[in-house]
Amino acid sequence: MSDPKNIKPLPRFSSDAEAEDFVANSDLSGGQRSGYEFKTKDTTISMRVSRDLLDAIKARAAVDGMPYQRFIRQALEKAIGTDGHKAG
Protein backbone atom coordinates (compact mmCIF):
# COMPACT_ATOMS: atom_id res chain seq x y z
CA MET A 1 0.00 0.00 0.00
CA SER A 2 1.05 3.58 -0.48
CA ASP A 3 2.59 5.54 2.34
CA PRO A 4 -0.18 7.87 3.59
CA LYS A 5 2.37 10.66 4.04
CA ASN A 6 3.06 10.65 0.28
CA ILE A 7 -0.56 10.86 -0.85
CA LYS A 8 -1.53 14.25 -2.22
CA PRO A 9 -5.01 15.51 -1.36
CA LEU A 10 -7.46 15.95 -4.22
CA PRO A 11 -8.14 19.55 -5.18
CA ARG A 12 -11.60 21.01 -4.70
CA PHE A 13 -13.60 21.54 -7.86
CA SER A 14 -16.26 24.16 -8.49
CA SER A 15 -18.02 22.12 -11.20
CA ASP A 16 -18.29 18.64 -12.71
CA ALA A 17 -16.62 19.96 -15.85
CA GLU A 18 -13.62 21.11 -13.82
CA ALA A 19 -13.36 17.67 -12.16
CA GLU A 20 -13.68 15.89 -15.52
CA ASP A 21 -10.93 18.10 -16.95
CA PHE A 22 -8.68 17.27 -13.99
CA VAL A 23 -9.15 13.50 -14.49
CA ALA A 24 -8.73 13.73 -18.26
CA ASN A 25 -5.44 15.63 -17.96
CA SER A 26 -3.92 13.91 -14.91
CA ASP A 27 -1.27 11.22 -14.82
CA LEU A 28 -3.00 8.50 -12.83
CA SER A 29 -0.52 5.77 -13.77
CA GLY A 30 0.84 5.44 -10.22
CA GLY A 31 -2.54 4.72 -8.70
CA GLN A 32 -3.68 1.49 -7.12
CA ARG A 33 -6.89 -0.30 -7.87
CA SER A 34 -9.37 -0.18 -5.04
CA GLY A 35 -12.17 -2.59 -4.38
CA TYR A 36 -15.15 -2.80 -2.13
CA GLU A 37 -16.82 -5.90 -0.78
CA PHE A 38 -20.59 -5.55 -0.77
CA LYS A 39 -21.75 -8.72 0.95
CA THR A 40 -21.90 -8.79 4.73
CA LYS A 41 -19.43 -11.20 6.28
CA ASP A 42 -21.70 -12.92 8.78
CA THR A 43 -20.17 -16.38 9.15
CA THR A 44 -16.82 -17.34 10.62
CA ILE A 45 -14.72 -20.36 9.67
CA SER A 46 -11.63 -21.80 11.28
CA MET A 47 -9.02 -23.85 9.48
CA ARG A 48 -5.57 -25.15 10.23
CA VAL A 49 -2.76 -24.46 7.76
CA SER A 50 1.02 -24.69 7.93
CA ARG A 51 2.95 -21.64 9.11
CA ASP A 52 4.74 -21.62 5.72
CA LEU A 53 1.44 -21.45 3.85
CA LEU A 54 0.09 -18.66 6.06
CA ASP A 55 3.32 -16.68 5.69
CA ALA A 56 3.13 -17.08 1.89
CA ILE A 57 -0.52 -15.98 1.89
CA LYS A 58 0.26 -12.92 4.00
CA ALA A 59 3.19 -11.99 1.75
CA ARG A 60 1.11 -12.32 -1.42
CA ALA A 61 -1.76 -10.35 0.12
CA ALA A 62 0.67 -7.58 1.05
CA VAL A 63 1.94 -7.44 -2.56
CA ASP A 64 -1.68 -7.11 -3.70
CA GLY A 65 -2.27 -4.42 -1.05
CA MET A 66 -5.01 -6.17 0.90
CA PRO A 67 -5.55 -7.91 4.24
CA TYR A 68 -4.69 -11.61 4.13
CA GLN A 69 -8.20 -12.74 5.10
CA ARG A 70 -9.67 -10.84 2.15
CA PHE A 71 -7.04 -12.48 -0.08
CA ILE A 72 -8.10 -15.93 1.16
CA ARG A 73 -11.79 -15.08 0.68
CA GLN A 74 -11.16 -13.90 -2.89
CA ALA A 75 -9.19 -17.07 -3.65
CA LEU A 76 -12.11 -19.17 -2.39
CA GLU A 77 -14.62 -17.13 -4.41
CA LYS A 78 -12.48 -17.52 -7.53
CA ALA A 79 -12.19 -21.29 -6.96
CA ILE A 80 -15.98 -21.72 -6.86
CA GLY A 81 -16.70 -19.25 -9.66
CA THR A 82 -18.33 -16.36 -7.83
CA ASP A 83 -17.01 -12.84 -7.38
CA GLY A 84 -18.68 -12.36 -4.01
CA HIS A 85 -20.66 -9.35 -5.22
CA LYS A 86 -23.80 -11.13 -6.37
CA ALA A 87 -26.76 -11.81 -4.17
CA GLY A 88 -26.99 -15.45 -3.67
Q: How many CA atoms lie within 13 A of 60 on its CB side?
A: 12
Q: What is the pLDDT of residue 82?
A: 77
What pLDDT score does 32 carry?
Answer: 63
More confident residue, 30 or 15: 15
Write out pLDDT tens, residues 39-53: 788 999 999 999 999
pLDDT at 22: 86
Rounded distance between C-alpha atoms, residue 78 and residue 76, angstroms: 5
Q: Does residue 85 surpass a pLDDT of 60?
A: no
pTM of this structure: 0.54
Closest CA to 58 of 49, 69, 50: 69
- DSSP-H helix ranges across the chain: 16-24, 51-64, 68-80
